């Protein structure tokens, strides 16, 4: 029995209907932009393993930082203690985050980073004696799998089983080109009610919706509306953070900065699970009180794990190198060239590019579901051809490691062109 067969006996995978799923390739090795399975087959990881490995697999700089930390201090509880790496990472983040972000709260993954932000927004108002129990989010957004994050997500089949058990969330249209005024008007109507604690959004790119993009100018306007109506703004940068959009954070494109930010995925270069929620001083001050009950009672066993902090510090150091910044620009240039080549293909409905993110939507006769037949057909074709891509319905996107070389990237482009001939 091989690894894939044994896996099927024991393991329950995310987002998987196991009755219909095929055996999964068992990956045994990774280096840079490549992965190898137990049979020796090579794959180009064109989505950086769910957007978390921007510096490739088995990065020795991050690995060395982790090893050094493991042999110094692998873990210490963060409730009642601190340690040098948590302080160093907080100091480093203060230098690269928007200047209004002043406090760092550690957690374990993107969902919990969002969960912390939602809880903080609700309790911030509660601490002041203000009843605001609802959240505003975009249609088709995805913010995670924990209850608050899930409730804020707009992909219905993720939440269908939990209706009636979720936080109340109002959704507004994504302000894509032509829909800006609809989005602005919808937000204006909601904030008038004075019932909403926060507006939660993926800045500029909705990842799980298929890399749907919109412009910074309209997001600036939405944030202004919220600020003028005492609605807390939360930027979910779990996907967009650490270089994906061409800047360190998507919010770096904005004039108006959010009250909170959620970070994870690429934070540790794809090595150790870790997340961060950041806050303005004003938000933090809403919990700073003689009354113990006004503290933010949220925490995890591995909060601010020293090894994760060490990995994050190494990851940020790599991101800031001239070489890595040049790589990001090179990928963007390659994406734009491919977009110019492919956008007029008879089977391509639309294309979009920002930073290292490229997406195209395939023309279809009918509406394709998230995990529908076209998605399965596309996914299987890519895997058969040694390319790891995870289409969303009829949308194919690329979000590669920043260290991918031109030959590998061209192979990804060529395979996408090939798949257009069979759909």
Residue pLDDT, tens place only, 72-126: 999 999 999 999 999 999 999 999 999 999 999 999 999 999 999 999 999 999 9
**99: which residues sit within 8 A by CB, 6+ positions away?**
257
Domain end, chosen from 319, 352, 373, is at 319
Spell out, as residue ranges, where the chain has pLDDT lower than 50. Answer: none
Looking at residue 372, its pLDDT comes to: 75
Residue 19: CATH number of its domain: 3.90.1150.10
Domain boundary among 285, 319, 353: 319
Whether 207 and 355 map to the same domain: the answer is no
Q: What confidence score (pLDDT) does residue 159 get?
A: 81
What is the model's pLDDT at position 131?
94
- Residue 368 has a pLDDT of 66
CB crowding 326-340: b at 16 or more within 10 Å, else e: ebbebbbebbeebbe
Taking 3-state DSSP, the helix, strand and coil percentages for the chain, each rounded to the nearest 5, stand at 40, 15, 45
pLDDT reported for residue 259: 98
Report how far residue 381's alpha carbon sits from residue 202's, in angstroms, rounded to the nearest whole number: 30
**Strand locations in 152-259 (E):** 169-172, 196-201, 205-206, 212-213, 232-236
- Residues 49 and 93 reside in one and the same domain: no
> Encoding tokens for residue 44?
């180009």
- CA dist 196 → 126, 190, 223, 230, 336 (Å): 12, 8, 14, 9, 39
Strands 348-354 vs 357-362: parallel, antiparallel or unpaired: antiparallel
Residues 80 and 52 in one domain: no
CB 73 within 8 A of CB 306: yes
* Residues 371 and 304 placed together within one structural domain of the fold: no
d(CA 252, CA 339): 24
Same domain, 91 and 233: yes
Please indicate, yes or no, whether residues 74 and 159 belong to a single structural domain of this protein.
yes
User: Residue 63: what pLDDT?
Assistant: 98
Residue 102 phi, psi (nearest 5): -125, -15
Could you tell me if 52 and 73 lie in one domain?
no
Question: Residue 34: enclosing H or E segment and its boundaries?
Answer: strand 34-37
Domain co-membership, 41 together with 145: no
Backbone angles phi, psi at 43, to 5 degrees: -125, 140
User: What is the DSSP annotation of 13-26?
Assistant: -TT--TTTPPPPP-
Check whether residue 165 and residue 245 sit in a common domain.
yes
Same domain for 269 and 355, yes or no, is: no
Same domain, residue pair 227 and 104:
yes
Q: Which domain range does residue 8 map to? A: 3-58+324-420
pLDDT in the model for residue 164: 82
Its pTM stands at 0.96
- Domain end among 293, 319, 345: 319
The count of structural domains within the chain is 2
Specify the pLDDT at position 422: 86
CATH of the domain at 154: 3.40.640.10
- Confidence (pLDDT) at 367: 72
**Residues near 398 by Cβ (< 8 Å), separated by ≥ 6?**
46, 47, 335, 357, 358, 359, 389, 412, 416
Tell me what pLDDT residue 263 has: 98
Same domain, 270 and 345: no
Q: Which of 231, 201, 249, 233 is nearest to 98 (CA)?
A: 249
């Amino acid at each position: 029995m091989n690894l894939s067969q044994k896996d099927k006996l024991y393991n329950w995978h995310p987002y998987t209907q196991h009755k219909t799923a095929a055996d999964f390739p068992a990956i045994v090795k990774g280096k840079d932009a490549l992965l190898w399975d137990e049979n020796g087959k090579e794959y180009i990881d064109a989505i950086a393993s769910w957007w978390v490995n921007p510096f490739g697999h088995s990065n020795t700089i991050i690995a060395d930082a982790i090893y050094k930390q493991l042999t110094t201090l692998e873990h210490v509880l963060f409730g009642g203690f601190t340690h040098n790496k948590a302080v160093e990472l907080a100091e480093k983040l203060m230098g690269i985050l928007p200047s209004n972000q002043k406090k760092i709260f550690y957690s374990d993954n993107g969902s919990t980073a969002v969960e912390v932000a939602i809880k903080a927004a609700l309790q911030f108002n509660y601490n002041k004696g203000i009843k605001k129990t609802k959240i505003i989010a975009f249609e088709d957004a995805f913010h995670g799998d924990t209850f608050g994050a899930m409730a804020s997500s707009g992909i219905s089949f993720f939440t269908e089983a939990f209706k009636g058990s979720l936080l109340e969330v109002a959704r507004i249209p994504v302000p894509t080109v032509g829909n800006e005024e609809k989005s602005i008007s919808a937000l204006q109507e909601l904030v008038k009610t004075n019932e909403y604690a926060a507006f939660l959004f993926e800045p500029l790119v909705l990842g799980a919706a298929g890399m749907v993009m919109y412009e910074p100018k309209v997001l600036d306007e939405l944030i202004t509306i919220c600020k003028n109506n005492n609605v807390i703004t939360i930027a979910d940068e779990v996907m967009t953070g650490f270089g994906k959009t061409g800047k360190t954070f998507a919010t770096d494109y904005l004039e108006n900065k959010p009250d909170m930010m959620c970070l994870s995925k690429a934070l540790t270069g794809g090595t150790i699970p870790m997340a961060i929620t950041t806050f303005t001083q004003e938000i933090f001050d809403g919990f700073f009180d003689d009354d113990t009950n006004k503290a933010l009672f949220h925490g995890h066993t591995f909060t601010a794990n020293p090894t994760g902090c060490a990995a994050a510090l190494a990851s940020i150091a790599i991101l800031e190198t001239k070489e890595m910044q040049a790589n990001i620009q090179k990928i963007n240039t390659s994406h734009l060239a491919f977009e110019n080549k492919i956008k007029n293909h008879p089977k391509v409905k639309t294309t979009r590019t920002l930073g290292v993110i490229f997406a195209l939507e395939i023309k279809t006769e009918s509406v394709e579901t998230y995990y529908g037949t076209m998605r399965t057909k596309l996914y299987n074709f890519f895997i058969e051809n040694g390319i790891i891509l995870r289409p969303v319905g009829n949308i194919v996107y690329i979000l590669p490691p920043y260290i991918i070389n031109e030959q590998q990237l061209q192979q990804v482009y060529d395979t996408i062109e090939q798949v257009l001939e069979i759909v």
